[in-house]
Structure 1
Amino acid sequence: MRYVIAGGHGRIGLRLGALLAERGDEAAGLIRDPAQQSDLVERGIRPIVCDLETATVAEVAGHLAGADAVVFAAGAGPGSGIARKDTVDRGAATLCADAAEQAGVRRFVVVSAMGTDREPPAGTDEVFAAYLRAKGAADADVRSRANLDWTILCPGRLTDDPGTGLVTLAEHTDRGAVTRDDVAAVLVALLDEPATAGRTLDLVEGPTPIPETIAALARR
């Protein structure tokens, strides 16, 4: 299987690519900075230099051609301003969805965030509010696409603690934390289970092993 990860050098993208490569899949990561290529190569991920803020749909579609699935895990990141929340967290997601449709790649998994389905509460930092709105707009756009078998994953507060393999994954959960290791592992499981398409899922740490929670979702 061939998977392409937008945001291939991100802290989730690198973990996901490594997991896929370790089990023998072909993992490719879209990155903006050529200097990041070695970080992907040493994890078994094929780097593809492509700036999603300037690339065309046709250019990105060319990189996605022949893929079994696309994972959008890109983000403007900490320290970026309001403008880049829109160009990356919304615009790049829409671009990748357009490109997946053009390339004929149906499976499309998005790493979003909790709280993007509502207006940010009064008093929310303006940059974080812009981030939530951008993610929410991107999620709504992806949900509208009949040509994509999409899944939108909304993790809680991300940590770099070691993964436990135990999570709560559901359409709605209470807020909480989750490790990036476990987010990556859940993404692999979602890619492996076609019955999770068409769902928006919250993810936090919890009591249930990842294979069990994915199997339960597939039965619903």
Structure 2
Amino acid sequence: MLATDGHNVHSIIRNPDQKSEIEGLGGKPIIQSIEEASVSDLASTITNVKATTVIWSAGAGGGSPERTQAVDNEGAIKSMDATAQAGVKRYIIVSAVDVRNRESKPEPEWYNHVDRQRSEKVWSAIGVYMRAKLAADLSLVTENGRRGLEYTMVRPGGLSDDAGKGKVAAGKVHLDAMISREDVASIVVECLKNDGTKGLAIDFVGGDTPIADAVAEVAKGRIDTFAGRY
């Protein structure tokens, strides 16, 4: 989507076998391991390509707990530090709905019985992943005083490979609606266009509101679904 809009898009990938797929989408692949690269290594990459924005959407894919920790937690935090070190301000991270401190913070007041069941099911199944995301998101928000990033946290619900609908629900959403990966990509692009999303954590699931309108409404209302949950 960004390449079609005329942007110069670079993609850090670990597996060289994915190069042709990235190139086919209009991207420029960079072979680099998030796990093995240092903050300085990543900062050099960001500087070398003259990036103006960094988008973090990497993940260990629900593999081993060690890799989940290394990528979803430590890798994400390295990318934040590297972005700041490279002098880039704009940073978007793809997180997930319901990433929160469930032990000592209240549940979102808009949750219903179905949401509680869904939350319990997800945290029981992929708690390692959710805790890794929580640690990364916590660092992004609480340590931004030293980084100075203009960040947005995009927090989608359950992901599908369906074609995008271009319509979502955003903000104080319920957890039982899936969202397509294509629509999440559209959301990221829209958040880049809307400066009102800076400093916000925004939940998204499938819904009936056009993406641009949904993003604009949340930005205007400054609806942050991570605030008070960490």
TM-score by length of 1: 0.86
Query: Cα distance, 1:218 vs. partner?
Result: 3.2
Query: Cα distance, 1:118 vs. partner?
Result: 2.8
Match of 1:137 in 2: 135
Distance 2:94 2:41 in 1: 22
Query: Cα distance, 1:164 vs. partner?
Result: 0.6
Match status 1:174 vs 2:157? no
Query: Cα distance, 1:150 vs. partner?
Result: 0.8
Distance 1:123 1:185 in 2: 25
Report the structure, 1 or 2, having the larger strand content: 1
1:70 counterpart letter in structure 2: V
Contact 2:123 2:130 in 1 (8 A): no
Distance 2:86 2:167 in 1: 35
Q: Mind listing any 5+ residue stretches in structure 1 that lack a counterpart? A: 1-18
Q: How many residues align?
A: 199
TM-score by length of 2: 0.82
Q: Which one of the candidate residues 74, 78, 83 is aligned to 2:58? A: 74
Distance 1:168 1:45 in 2: 29
Q: Deviations over 1:35-79 (max 9, x none)?
A: 21111111110001110101011110111122111110000003x
Match of 2:82 in 1: 99
Structure 1 vs Structure 2: percent identity of aligned residues?
Answer: 34
Contact 2:202 2:218 in 1 (8 A): no
Task: Please give the secondary structure, in 1, of the residue aligned with 2:2.
Answer: helix
Structure whose alpha-carbon radius of gyration is higher: 2
Match status 1:190 vs 2:191? yes
Match of 1:53 in 2: 35
Match status 1:42 vs 2:19? no
2:157 counterpart letter in structure 1: G
Query: Cα distance, 1:217 vs. partner?
Result: 2.7
Query: Cα distance, 1:215 vs. partner?
Result: 2.1
Q: Deviations over 1:167-219 (max 9, x none)?
A: 0111x311021011100000000011111011111100111101111222333
Query: Cα distance, 1:33 vs. partner?
Result: 1.2
Match of 1:6 in 2: none
Distance 2:5 2:150 in 1: 23
Superposed CA RMSD: 1.6
Distance 2:57 2:51 in 1: 16
